[in-house]
Structure 1
Amino acid sequence: MTVQIARLGLPAGPDAERFAERLSERVARRIDHLEESPGMIDFAFSTALLALRAHCVADPRAAAAETWEAAVNAMQLGSALFAVTGVSEGVVECRINRKMRTVPAAGPLPTADAGNWLTAFWLAVICREQERMTQLCEIPLERLRSPEGQYDEYIYHWVDTLQTYWLRRPGLVEKLTATFEASDPTVARVAPRDLLQGVLYPPINLFYHFVRRDEAGFSPALVEALKLHQVYWTLNEERATDIDGSIALGPLAIACLAYDGEIPIEVESDYLPKHLLQHSWLGEFPT
């Protein structure tokens, strides 16, 4: 039986559509300025991610072409962020917003870190961009470390686990175990406990069920992840109206892996837009 999990606090409607459209226009302008201002790529990426979430509020099933285009733009900018910050001279050829763009090297930026790496990787998974997934997974882990101790150590174990899985390197079980241990609330010190338990940890648990091909346990784990996401993002009025909670990006990405691996997905939710999960728009836009 399919479980339904409602998204609370973010109603669709004309206002949501107009907001999404305005954000997409802003994203397009920022993309057009990248060739002159490559150091602004992190702002373009964050705006594109916001636009994707806004489109998913206005279009909860991601049935509109504009929503898929927003997902593609966010994915392309996420990958480009790491491409242009990975070199200090020359230019990088990037396809962004339907065009090939020649973006000058930006050199290291503090925002090209493990947190944004996870977001960029989830977007590449959702868009089924295997080449970009590989490029992201080939980035050395040390390059993603925040010099200011912005993250708990678990996030680096988590990135290492995902890179190991995708590149089929040895040691996956050991690295996933280390991720579990380091993400324990009694061990983690930087992330607030409710954020860790409600948003950051559930994708790790879901990935565990996925790599084990646990068909009986995957959908219950996905239900739990979405319910925890819902609880976190509706704890108070401020969170309930925060567009960041409109989709569960990490669980969505892992559900995409499971869907493509023919693991039954017995959950329906606006936190998990149907047409992103089922890649209904795949091939409609150059990626």
Structure 2
Amino acid sequence: MQIPRHEFPTRNALRILETRTKDFWDDVQDLRDEPSCFSNVLADAIGLFCRQCVVDPEADKVETWEACVAAMQVGSALFESARATTDAIECRIGHEMRTIRAGALPRAHAGNWLSAFWLACICREKKRMTELCQFPAAQLRQADGVFDEYIYHWVEALQAYWLKRPEFGDKLVAAVDGTDPGALRHAPRDGVLQIMYPPMNLLTQLTRGDQNKFNTELAKTLEWHKYYWTHDEDRERDTEGLVALGPLGVCCLAVQAGFTITVESEYLPKHLLEGAWLNEFPHITPARHPGI
């Protein structure tokens, strides 16, 4: 089954990509002294990755893989900075080791955690996934931002799934229940029901081992994703909608579990889904600053 991606302007795409890439690396330099920039840099990294997929929808170019890896590295560095016990950390972003100031806890919120985790799943970085899952959910509540309760249960469900903790089922049920419109206090209902809930449903099918149901629900998930990101002109022009990050992350978990994904879509770049770039850069796992 094929779910085509919605139309996105491609005029001057390469020129815009070149400019955004330069701006992103300039912003990465700012992390040396300003951990408060992390949320913006992570958002820019994801936007750059998604924009790269405009010109490379199957992610078969090394530039797309590098953009995905860089976004993952920024996400991981954010949470490294948040839990550091020294003044600085050293981590790799791109092909360089960088010194980054510690103290990003205000930016280490649940939304950024999900983005960082999905990126680690897509890159098959198991060590990073484990480290993210060991980040205390209680500390996410100390960060900036106001979130509904379901998102914390969802983080805890993913942490329990990956670390094989017994509370996984209860946390997943609590997360799903928390997406009920009547339980929401802050997040817009359409975003929760069409973007946040579907990966929970996919993880449910994965844990049940139901490959056919997984693919059926995946097709629905991408249709909802497409509907959400074409609801109005502003959303249509937002690069975030070009890749279904959460569903892609769960699909990568499913592929690792032996599932065959029968749904094809530019929302799920083929070579990222299949893990074709795995081990292309054997050095992408970061070195650590002593004492961290």
Q: TM-score, normalised by structure 2?
A: 0.92
Secondary structure at the counterpart of residue 5 of structure 1: coil
Secondary structure at the counterpart of residue 7 of structure 1: coil
Alignment match of 2:4 (pick from 3, 6, 20): 6
Whether the 8 Å CA contact 1:206–1:221 is kept in 2: the answer is: yes
Instruction: Flag as ranges the 4+ runs of structure 1 deviating above 6 A.
Output: none
Instruction: Give the Cα separation in 1 of the matches to 2:190 and 2:46.
Output: 23
Whether the 8 Å CA contact 1:275–1:281 is kept in 2: the answer is: yes
Q: Where in structure 2 are there 5+ consecutive unaligned residues?
A: 285-292
- Superposed, 1:201-216 pairs within 5 Å as 201-216=197-212
Whether the 8 Å CA contact 1:9–1:234 is kept in 2: the answer is: no
Instruction: Give the Cα separation in 2 of the matches to 1:93 and 1:148.
Output: 24
Question: What displacement does 1:26 show?
Answer: 1.7
Secondary structure at the counterpart of residue 105 of structure 2: coil
Instruction: Give the Cα separation in 2 of the matches to 1:208 and 1:142.
Output: 24
Report the counterpart of residue 289 of structure 2 in structure 1.
none
Q: What do the CA deviations read for 1:129-187 (whole angstroms, capped 9, x no partner)?
A: 01100110001111001567611100000000000011111121111111111111222
Report the counterpart of residue 25 of structure 1 in structure 2.
22
Question: What displacement does 1:31 show?
Answer: 2.1
Q: Compared with structure 1, are the counterparts of its residues 121 and 20 closer, same or farther at alpha carbon in structure 2 (3 Å cutoff)?
A: same
Q: What do the CA deviations read for 1:96-145 (whole angstroms, capped 9, x no partner)?
A: 11122222212522x21001000000000000001100110001111001
- Superposed, 1:255-266 pairs within 5 Å as 255-266=251-262
CA RMSD of aligned residues (A): 1.6
Whether the 8 Å CA contact 1:31–1:97 is kept in 2: the answer is: no
Secondary structure at the counterpart of residue 205 of structure 1: helix
Structure 2 counterpart of 1:6, one-letter code: P
Report the counterpart of residue 53 of structure 2 in structure 1.
56
Q: Compared with structure 1, are the counterparts of its residues 30 and 161 closer, same or farther at alpha carbon in structure 2 (3 Å cutoff)?
A: same
- Does 2:77 correspond to 1:76? no
Question: Which shifted more, 188-197 or 24-33?
Answer: 24-33
Secondary structure at the counterpart of residue 103 of structure 1: strand
Q: Compared with structure 1, are the counterparts of its residues 4 and 12 closer, same or farther at alpha carbon in structure 2 (3 Å cutoff)?
A: farther
Structure 2 counterpart of 1:51, one-letter code: L
- Does 2:223 correspond to 1:227? yes
Q: Where in structure 1 are there 5+ consecutive unaligned residues?
A: none
Q: Compared with structure 1, are the counterparts of its residues 201 and 8 closer, same or farther at alpha carbon in structure 2 (3 Å cutoff)?
A: same
Q: TM-score, normalised by structure 1?
A: 0.93
Structure 2 counterpart of 1:53, one-letter code: C
Instruction: Give the Cα separation in 1 of the matches to 2:22 and 2:271.
Output: 23
Whether the 8 Å CA contact 1:4–1:269 is kept in 2: the answer is: yes
Q: Compared with structure 1, are the counterparts of its residues 148 and 119 closer, same or farther at alpha carbon in structure 2 (3 Å cutoff)?
A: closer
Instruction: Give the Cα separation in 2 of the matches to 1:283 and 1:147.
Output: 34
Whether the 8 Å CA contact 1:45–1:74 is kept in 2: the answer is: yes
Between the two proteins, the alignment pairs up a number of residues equal to: 283
Q: Compared with structure 1, are the counterparts of its residues 107 and 20 closer, same or farther at alpha carbon in structure 2 (3 Å cutoff)?
A: closer
Instruction: Give the Cα separation in 1 of the matches to 2:34 and 2:189.
Output: 38
Structure 2 counterpart of 1:167, one-letter code: L
Instruction: Give the Cα separation in 1 of the matches to 2:19 and 2:271.
Output: 22
